[in-house]
């Protein structure tokens, strides 16, 4: 499918800064007309053949530049339940990257060059969002220690307590990315997203961006979500056990009851920067602006700055010592 402008026939896209459909050709707002059909093999607008990964559900035609959404990959079992629309547009994402990396002195000079940034693209990453109901039963023996002195004698009083807790917590939409393309550790760092802005799926939000279908079904990824909820449950329980010097668990049982899993698309700006024949990937959370990535290091800059600091400090120390000596 494709969104075309009623006014000018141009490709209408979702503009994050306006939170509206927008035609960049005639600057019309909400002027979209949905054109269905087409396939992932051929551009619905210009008919050019498309060469796309099998899991792409939205992409841009390299010939005419239109943003296409592939009907068969957003329907049936592949239809997302939810989508979190982009809140940051490309310029705002670039500004976030700039803010993060502009003060890093070893970053190559052309890291944020216009030419490099042309490669930056907005992706909807497939996620499974899991709901769990957690019930944690805990029994332990805790101690509290009090110490005092009387004359030359030191007393240590240890009090023992039976500590019983039953904790209930509802975990709401624990996210796990379902894309092979995305590094799990990177996607975990992209969290959290603000779910208040979640919308029921509408393909219009995909226009203007790339997207993928999920590569793994929810059953396959549930264990990762369980781990996340389990760690959080443990931490919440531990917070309720404060005030004890030691705690010896006697019985503990965490029951995580799955309540449902939702297929959602979450927004990420992806920037691929090539330096010395190596690709460096950077991600900007398309909603919150959180930046993830390790910047490359420019060897000439490292040498220049290190040598400068070395020369400066050596000279200053040498002069200072000579000055002290000559006093």
Partner 1 sequence: MRGVTAKARYSSRDNTECDTTERVFDYADVLSDNEEEKLRSLIAKRERQCGCDIVLVTLDRSLKDEAREIDPDVDYEEFVRIYAEQFYEEHNFGYDRANGDGTILVDNWYREDDGNIYTWLTTTGRAYDKMSDYDVDYVLDDVYRYIERNPYRAYKTYVNGVYRQMTGSGLFRLRVPGWIPWLAGIIAALGFLLFNWNSKKGASTVTAFTYVAGKQAQFPVRQDRFLRKSVTQHTIQTSSSGGSSGHSSGGGGGHSSGSHGGGGHHR
Question: Is 279 in a helix, a strand, or coil?
Answer: strand
Which member of 44, 50, 163, 265 binds partner 1 (CB under 8 A)? 163
Candidates 1-9, 51-59, 269-277, 284-292; binding stretch for partner 1 (CB under 8 A): 284-292
Beta bridge pairs of residue 121? 270
Told to check if 232 binds partner 1 by CB under 8 A, we report: yes
Minimum separation from the CB atom of position 167 to partner 1 (A): 5
Residue 240 engages partner 1 in binding (rule: CB under 8 A): yes
20 binds partner 1 (CB under 8 A): no
Residue 247 touching partner 1 (CB under 8 A): no
Sole binder of partner 1 in the list 29, 110, 172, 220 (CB under 8 A): 172
Q: Tell me how far, at minimum, the Cβ of 298 lies from partner 1, in Å.
A: 11
- Which residues inside 95-134 make contact with partner 1, applying CB under 8 A? 104-106, 134
Report the 10 Å Cβ neighbour count for 159.
11
Q: Of 132-151, which residues contact partner 1 (CB under 8 A)? A: 134, 141-142, 149
The residues, ordered by sequence, that sit 6+ positions from 277 with a Cβ below 8 Å of its Cβ are none
Whether residue 75 contacts residue 269, with contact meaning beta carbons closer than 8 Å, is answered with no
Stretch that binds partner 1, among 55-63, 115-123, 247-255, 310-318 (CB under 8 A): 310-318
d(CA 118, CA 270): 11
Q: Between residues 4 and 173, which has the closer beta carbon with respect to partner 1? A: 173
Gap between the Cα atoms of 252 and 138, Å rounded: 4
Residue 178 near residue 129, CB atoms below 8 Å: no
By CB under 8 A, residue 314 contacts partner 1:
yes
Q: How far is the CB of 212 from partner 1 (least distance, A)?
A: 21
Question: Any contact of residue 323 with partner 1 (CB under 8 A)?
Answer: no
**Cβ proximity of 132 and 229 under 8 Å:** yes
Q: Show the binding pattern over residues 32-61: x = contacts partner 1 (CB under 8 A), - = does not.
A: ------------------------------
Cα angle, residue 139 at apex, residues 138 and 140 outer, rounded to 5°: 120
Cα 109 to Cα 298: distance, rounded to the nearest angstrom: 8
CB within 8 Å of 12: residues ≥ 6 apart: 3, 4, 5, 21, 22, 23, 28, 31, 32, 33, 207
Residue from 95, 167, 247, 254 binding partner 1 (CB under 8 A): 167
Q: Which of 29, 75, 170, 220 binds partner 1 (CB under 8 A)?
A: 170
Q: Which of 168, 200, 242, 278 binds partner 1 (CB under 8 A)?
A: 168
Binding-site residue total for partner 1 (CB under 8 A)?
A: 71
Q: How far apart are CA 203 and CA 286, in angstroms?
A: 17
DSSP assignment of 110-145 equals TTT-HHHHTT-EEEEEEEEEEEEEEEEEEEEEEEEE
Assess 256 for contact with partner 1 (CB under 8 A).
no
Using an 8 Å Cβ cutoff, are 161 and 310 in contact?
no
Stretch that binds partner 1, among 33-41, 113-121, 203-211, 237-245 (CB under 8 A): 237-245
Q: How far is CA 223 from CA 27, 219, 245, 300, in A?
A: 46, 8, 33, 46
- Please pick, from the candidates 34, 35, 48, 164, the single residue that binds partner 1 as defined by CB under 8 A: 164
Q: Does 309 bind partner 1 (CB under 8 A)?
A: yes
Residue 161 in the binding site for partner 1 (CB under 8 A)? yes
CA 327/CA 322 separation, integer angstroms: 9
Over the window 62 to 101, marking each residue x when it contacts partner 1 by CB under 8 A and - when it does not, the resulting string is ----------------------------------------
């Amino acid at each position: 499918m494709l969104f075309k402008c009623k006014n000018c026939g141009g490709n209408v896209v979702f503009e994050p800064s306006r939170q509206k459909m927008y035609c960049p050709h005639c600057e019309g707002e909400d002027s979209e007309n949905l054109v269905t059909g087409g396939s992932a093999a051929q551009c619905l607008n210009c008919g050019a053949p498309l060469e796309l990964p099998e899991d792409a559900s939205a992409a841009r035609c390299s010939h005419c530049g239109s943003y296409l959404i592939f009907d068969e990959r957003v329907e049936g079992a592949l239809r997302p339940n939810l989508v979190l629309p982009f809140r940051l547009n490309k310029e705002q994402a670039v500004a976030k990257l700039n803010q993060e990396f502009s003060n890093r002195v070893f970053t190559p000079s052309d890291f944020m060059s216009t030419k490099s940034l042309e490669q930056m693209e907005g992706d909807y990453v497939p996620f499974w969002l899991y709901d769990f109901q957690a019930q944690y039963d805990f029994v332990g023996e805790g101690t509290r220690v009090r110490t005092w002195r009387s004359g030359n004698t030191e007393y240590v009083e240890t009090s023992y307590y039976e500590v019983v807790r039953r904790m209930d917590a509802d975990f709401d939409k624990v996210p796990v990315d379902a894309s092979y393309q995305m590094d799990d550790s990177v996607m975990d760092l992209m969290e959290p997203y603000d779910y208040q802005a979640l919308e029921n799926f509408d393909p219009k939000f995909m226009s203007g961006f790339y997207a993928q279908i999920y590569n793994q079904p929810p059953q396959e990824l549930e264990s990762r979500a369980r781990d996340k909820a389990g760690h959080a449950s443990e931490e919440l329980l531990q917070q309720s056990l404060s005030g004890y010097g030691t705690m010896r668990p006697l019985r503990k049982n965490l029951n995580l009851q799955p309540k449902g899993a939702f297929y959602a698309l979450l927004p990420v700006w992806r920037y691929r920067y090539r330096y010395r024949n190596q690709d460096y990937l950077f991600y900007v959370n398309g909603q919150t602006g959180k930046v993830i990535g390790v910047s490359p290091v420019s060897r000439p800059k490292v040498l220049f700055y290190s040598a400068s600091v070395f020369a400066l400090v050596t000279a200053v120390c040498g002069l200072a010592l000579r000055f002290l000596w000559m006093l």
